[in-house]
Chains A and B, each alone.
Chain A
Amino acid sequence: MAQHKKSSSGISRRQFLQGGVGAASALALMPLARAAGVSPERLIAAAQANGGTLVFAAESMGETLETGLWNGFGSIHVTDNVGEGLIRSNFVSGEPTPGLAESWTISDDSLTYTFTLRAGATFHDGTPVTAPAVVRSFTRMIDDTDPSYLPGLYMASGHGSTNFASMTALDDQTIEMVLNARDATQLHRLARPSAMPISPAALDAQGTDIGTMPVMAGPFMLERFVPGQEAVLRAFEGYYGGTPAVDTLVIRAYPDEASILAALEAGEVQFTLYAPFSAVPRLQASDNITVDVGAPFVDLFLGCNCSLELTGNIDIRMAINYAINRETLIIGALNGFGELPASILSPTDLGFDESFRAISTQNLELAASHLAASGVATPIAIELSYENNRFWPLIAQLVKADLDAVGFSVTLDPLDPGSFWGKAGDSNMQLGLNQRSTFVPDPNDKATILHSITSPGALTYHQALPTAAELDALIDAGIAELDPAARVEIYQQIQQMAIDQMMYVYLAYLTPPVFYAKTLANVPSDSASSGRVNLDSVTFA
């Protein structure tokens, strides 16, 4: 059970006065906060300081919190609350906002970024967040002389390290970052978990074990981490945005959706993204739980391995696309929490084109004609792999039913996440179900999986396609182009090319429900639905 220090029904006169004074102070300081780049919600949360323990239910918890590796969303949720980047991404406006950097300038050629760090910001161990400390955090993943270096910290590429010509501490408060090539996404990249600075003292002390107890500069400090199970976080009083209202934040992995639902209804959990969607109608009528519907940040798709003979056949991929009934899939597997997809970009992305949704309409005649044109005799034996958790088994069964109906003979291949990615990495997976979340609100964040460099890790191996070089050039142009209007045009071309090649068969945009106790206020539902859950603004009502 949650242990709220103060319940809404038991507020003493002193507590009421404290809260009132705090809220009044927050209102008075709001203009100053805006000027300093701190959101008013966070300031109000800090002023309310109403304590208590908030339990967030995650679908899993990684064995480590090493930010240079992908350890699943449970670990990302921990890092997003323990860490703080130079930049924060606003998922509603799509704009970068100040984080540890209170301001920045960009040179005329858009290659040199100069960041001014916020004065007084400290890591959880009390050491100051200085420019050399930040630079060390960025370079440690690619510097094999750093004591925390491990081979294969590939998440560094997400924040742009492969494009850094240099990163220099000009003085204690100023960082200069020079890029090899222009990157319209670069500011948002700095909001990724892998770009969140870690205390140099902790890096020296813990070395390659830094993932067990990272010391960062975010609103919560890590008090305890049990690999694979849970992380206990304590509000950080030295946080530049003010101490979070919630005293203790527990991010706990539950074995399955039913357990999460039971814990949510019992009041043991106050916030989650991972309760079963089928429970939404009942929970919406609940007196204790609020369900918000998130924005369509997440793409669900079927990756077709273009390096294999069968799925390398464009007519086979097109037949698969036209065979699938998305309406049934959205109702049957997602309980209605989805939208008809258009392309790899989300409706919230710059350059999204509504007209592409037409490609996702089931058309059995076209499916049959593409199958005939493929030259492959039916029934066509094909294997569909997927992670055996959440809604994936349901989606797999519906896709199988649709494909079997037009002439395929689908074998379902349920795998645990490790085996799934192992098989994908061996390049022998024909069809694989997967998703792409919006880690930062920029079209490149999604489009990058269409680049041939990333295709092996994205199930499709489409570097084998003759159009791969042309598509790569377009994606590179989309990154380098800074003019929004020109970017829109480029991303429309990218979407069209990807649809023409159909290496990804788009299944749905997920509009995930966000579940939280009615005792919570200032809940960031929109950004949470992207998978980036910052809980520093949350208060107990």
Chain B
Amino acid sequence: MEIASRIDLRPPARRRLSLGWLWRARRDPISLFGGAFFAFVVFASVCAPLLTPYDATKINVMDRFQTPSLVHPFGTDDFGRDVLARVLYGGRTILLTGFAAVAGALLIGGMIGVVAGYAGGRIDTGLMRLTDIMLSFPAVLLAILIVASLGAGLVNTVIAIIFSMIPNFARLSRARTLQIMEEQYITASQSLGASGISLIARHILPNLVPQLIIQTTGMLAVAFSLSSALSFLGLGVDPSIPDWGLMVSEGQRLIFDAPHVGFFPGLAITLTILSVNFLGDGLRDRLDPAQRGAS
């Protein structure tokens, strides 16, 4: 009892969420810009009908290839569709794909990692070799293979991206679970008869959250990038749906004659991915100070 009284068996206190981070964020303007820009992208995509009077799919060939002007700030494409409207509505596609894919990969990959780390032994070995196999394929190639097998489309694009990102979440959550399992409060809980599910739900998962949030922002950028790449290759969404990757692909053909058709969606992809990366860096510095400065 005396020894026990000198060892802190309490789980680490959880961080309380407050708006103080916003004040502190002024010292990290790049992350602030990242967060603000990403918030703007989300807002603009969700509120697209309020920001443009044009229908993103309405064809009017008499207005084709108009250069940027006050009437059409980003110009028009070869069907006379307003490029700004298509960029705004196209944001919905990339955001939906990215968020859905990351959520799926987080759920499946996280679960695999926690189970492997907690169970150990053959289960751990089996699950990790499986993720090793998945990791041996470059993410883009794995996604292309999956979409080529299942067929193009929004749902299949999400499935492909989920599968290509599962190993990242699985390995992270397994490594962190192994660390947590070494903690004395886990030993104490086990000695007090806590069940496996209880340990995972009450101790392991809450302590995984900061790392998973950091990983999620990083993988969000990867998901946006993969989604755009698949669309660019013609393996993404239905071509009639506004999508940034698809617009860049269509704009590639017009690069010398109507560069605005591909330029603006390309810029949107670049800035969105950059902003998510900046945001992820900021979150990492905030939630995991030990990794500050790591790239």
Contact = CB atoms under 8 A, between A and B. Distances in A.
A276 B250 CA distance: 11
B51 to A, nearest CB: 23
A325 to B, nearest CB: 9
B239 A396 contact: yes
Contact of A276 (B239, B240, B254): B254
B263 to A, nearest CB: 14
Interface in B228-269: 234, 238-240, 250, 252-258
B286 interface: no
A258 to B, nearest CB: 5
Contacts of A261: 256
Nearest to B152: A414
A394 B64 CA distance: 13
Contact of A401 (B59, B234, B252, B257): B59
B79 interface: yes
A274 to B, nearest CB: 11
B124 interface: no
B285 interface: no
B57 A278 contact: no
B145 interface: no
A328 B250 CA distance: 18
A412 B240 contact: yes
How extensive is the interface on chain A, given as a class? 20 to 34
How extensive is the interface on chain B, given as a class? 20 to 34
Contact of B239 (A256, A257, A397): A397
Contact of A279 (B79, B152, B257): B257
A258 B232 CA distance: 14
B256 A282 contact: yes
Contacts of A279: 256-257
Nearest to B236: A414
A64 B238 CA distance: 33
B239 A258 contact: no
> Which one of A278, A282, A388, A400 has the greatest number of beta carbons of chain B within 10 Å?
A278
A92 B250 CA distance: 35
B253 A332 contact: no
B61 interface: yes
> Which one of A261, A282, A397, A411 has the greatest number of beta carbons of chain B within 10 Å?
A397
B65 interface: yes
A300 to B, nearest CB: 17
B79 A282 contact: no
Given A331-B61, A332-B78, A258 B255 contact: yes
Contacts of B78: 278, 332-333, 335, 394
A292 interface: no
A400 B80 CA distance: 16
A411 B152 CA distance: 11
A146 interface: no
Nearest to B261: A278
Given A328-B59, A328-B61, A414-B234, A400 B255 contact: no
Contacts of A401: 57, 59, 240
A265 B238 contact: no
A251 B238 CA distance: 34
Interface in B88-131: none
Interface in A371-408: 388, 393-394, 396-398, 400-401
B252 A258 contact: yes
B238 A276 contact: no
A397 B79 contact: yes
Contacts of A388: 234
A262 interface: yes
Given A282-B256, A412-B239, 15 more contacts: A256-B252, A258-B252, A258-B256, A281-B257, A328-B61, A332-B61, A332-B64, A333-B78, A393-B239, A393-B250, A394-B78, A396-B239, A398-B79, A412-B238, A413-B152
Interface of A: 256-258, 261-262, 265, 276, 278-279, 281-282, 328, 331-333, 335, 388, 393-394, 396-398, 400-401, 411-414
10 contacts: A256-B253, A258-B256, A276-B253, A276-B254, A278-B65, A328-B59, A331-B61, A394-B79, A397-B79, A398-B59
